[in-house]
Amino acid sequence: MAKKIDPCTLVLFGASGNLSRVKLMPGLFRLDAAGRLPDHMAILSVGRGEVSREAWQADIKSMLDAKFKNGYDKAVFDRFIARNHYHANPPTDPNAFNKMKTSLSDANVFPQNLAYFLSVRPTDFAPIVEQLSGAGLLDESKYWRRVLIEKPFGTNLPSAQALQTSITKHLKESQIYRIDHYLGKSALQNIMLTRFANTMFEPIWNNQYIDHVQITNNEILGVGDRTEFYNNTGALRDMVQSHLLQTLALVAMEKPKDLSPDSIRAEKIKLLESIRPLPVNEIHKNAFRAQYAAGRVCVADGHGENVAGYLDELARDGVTESVTETYAALKLFIDNPRWKGVPFYVRTAKRMHEGNTAVSIRFKKAPMQLNNEQHQNWLTLNIQPRECIKMEIESKIPGLDIATRTLSIDGPQRQQGDESIDSYESLLLNLMEGDSSLYLHISEVEAQWRLIDPIVKAWAEDKSSVHQYRAGNRDPEESSVIFDSKDQFWRYSIELGGDKH
Ligand SMILES: NC(=O)c1ccc[n+]([C@@H]2O[C@H](COP(=O)([O-])OP(=O)(O)OC[C@H]3O[C@@H](n4cnc5c(N)ncnc54)[C@H](OP(=O)(O)O)[C@@H]3O)[C@@H](O)[C@H]2O)c1
């Protein structure tokens, strides 16, 4: 059911940037087309350069044209474009934020509840909040003020805490919306619903029945032209610290007492804080890293394409050595009674043979073992590209003999005619609704960095050459060092009979 949204103005910093062009403006347009934006809602884009309103509106049109190749409704476009304004905020002008306040004070044009979306470089988050506060633009005495902070929130625990200290001089926790856009994905939200809106899963969702859990994000893509960003970040910080640990929290948390933002986040915080830190002297047994070497990957039309290795791509940009991982796999344990002894394998990699994001759960051996061929049950919650729930069970092969084979029950989450919502669309809507359940609490961010920082440090200090895997292949064999038992192996997306590796 649609929640009520107060009349408001979305103030978009970094509106000319890549994220805004590809996701935010098209997302806002689609929300408008779906009738989800309130009548009294304006968008003020803020950028460093002087741009006329007309030129900015023409730029927005080019963003929509690029996104919606099949065209769009003229009446919706006219309504949407009329919501859009531009304000130049040159960094050299000490009075820039006061001028913005003057512009925003025209209540006929700009509804006075203000949501600021900081789609800018992470180093600009704190200075913008400080300047908004200096101009009195965060004062909630009459209207609400919310600030959305893009990812990443810090690059380690100290920097996240420093950012938190800096922004909480001006903002209450309830005003801060820390984004992890994964949480906006419907298939991710489905993890919680699958668990708690069905009777059959909860009784077996524990160490008595579950052998291990795999949380995977594999990509066919390489780092592309983002070599500098990627080499300073790596797979662990880019994917595991936020997206994959959040996925793990949704898989493993206890049932929240209700669906309020505070209750959901309280359970996620508890879970994240109970993940056991990797012992510093045993990181090599519990974490594996690698870099892709040259190889051949599958491209959109099903053909193969030869691609360069990560170190070659860096060399092209003048970087001669790097230990930054493009493959990261961790084994984590959760110190609570439900999950005692169950390994959670979390892995992410670029340039793999397939692109897939999934939670795969393997159950323990069945009470009746007919022969050595019998597979253990798997439940897969596939997040992308296919959103589906897949269950593998053993079933009798019809005939005279007693023998089983694996039967796959594959339930697509998406049915014909279902809405296709980009994660940023739901998150933008939640920001305006004041619903922070899909945003991160600072305690979640801190718990995630606390877990990841020692691994990042150990890997950065270990200058021995990093294992190379051929682009387009499956996980490197050597990654199996982290498995808890010899019969565990990496699970891939759609193959039937998971035990056939
Ligand atoms: N792109 C994505 O898919 C993605 C995904 C996840 C997270 N994020 C996060 O979202 C934020 C925005 O990402 P983005 O890819 O859109 O960034 P971007 O394209 O590099 O730039 C965003 C905006 O920041 C302003 N800007 C750029 N350089 C600047 C400078 N030197 N000084 C002051 N302002 C500058 C520019 O606006 P003006 O020139 O108009 O001032 C630019 O439009 C970042 O925090 C990023 O980490 C992005």
Per-residue pLDDT tens over the stretch 466-496: 999 999 999 999 999 999 999 999 998 665 4
Point out the ligand 1 atom lying closest to the alpha carbon of residue 122.
45
- Transcribe 100-115 into DSSP letters: HHHHHT-TTTS-SEEE
CA of 258 to the centre of ligand 1 (A): 36
C-alpha distance across the termini of the chain, in Å: 44
Q: Which of 85, 170, 243, 353 is catalytic?
A: 243
Residue whose pair of structure tokens reads 């809106």 in the numeric block: 197
The domain spans of the chain are 8-150, 183-364+442-482
- Transcribe 352-412 into DSSP letters: -SS-EEEEEEEEPPPS---STTPPPPEEEEEEESS-EEEEEEEEEPSSSS--EEEEEEEEE
Tell me the angle at which helices 157-167 and 442-461 cross, rounded to the nearest 10 degrees: 150
The pLDDT score that the predictor gives to residue 277 is: 97
Strands 113-118 and 145-149: parallel
The pLDDT score that the predictor gives to residue 135 is: 96
The pLDDT score that the predictor gives to residue 498 is: 46
Tell me the angle at which helices 261-273 and 245-252 cross, rounded to the nearest 10 degrees: 100
CA–CA distance, 107 with 389 (Å, rounded to integer): 48
**Burial of 67 by CB count in 10 Å (0-12 exposed, 13-18 middle, 19+ buried)?**
middle
The listed CATH number (3.40.50.620, 3.40.50.720, 1.10.510.10, 3.10.20.30) that belongs to domain 8-150: 3.40.50.720
Q: Which residues of the chain have pLDDT under 70?
A: 1, 493-501
Name which residue sits closest to atom 36 of ligand 1, judged by CA: 14
What architecture is domain 183-364+442-482? 2-Layer Sandwich (3.30)
- Ligand 1: which of 119, 155, 423 to mutate, judged by most atoms within 8 Å of the beta carbon? 119
Tabulate helix, strand, coil % of the chain (nearest 5).
35, 20, 40
Q: Which token pair is 39?
A: 């009548």
Per-residue pLDDT tens over the stretch 185-206: 888 889 999 999 999 999 999 9
Point out the ligand 1 atom lying closest to the alpha carbon of residue 46.
40
| Nearby residues of 129 by Cβ (< 8 Å), 6 or more positions away | 118, 138, 147, 166, 167, 170, 171
Name which residue sits closest to atom 2 of ligand 1, judged by CA: 19
CA of 120 to the centre of ligand 1 (A): 4
Q: Which token pair is 139?
A: 């004062």
Encode 233-256: b = buried (16+ Cβ within 10 Å), e = exposed: bbbbbbbbbbbbbbbbbbbbbeeb
CA of 342 to the centre of ligand 1 (A): 40
| Nearby residues of 267 by Cβ (< 8 Å), 6 or more positions away | 253, 254, 255, 256
CA of 121 to the centre of ligand 1 (A): 5
On whether the CB atoms of residues 353 and 474 are closer than 8 A, the answer is: yes
Task: Determine if the pTM surpasses 0.85.
Answer: yes
On whether the CB atoms of residues 310 and 223 are closer than 8 A, the answer is: yes
Q: Which token pair is 279?
A: 């012992």
The pLDDT score that the predictor gives to residue 227 is: 95
85 is catalytic: no
Ligand 1 pocket, residues with Cβ under 6 angstroms: 14, 16-20, 47-49, 119-122, 124, 150-151
On whether the CB atoms of residues 328 and 235 are closer than 8 A, the answer is: yes
- φ, ψ of residue 118 to 5 degrees: the values are -95, 85
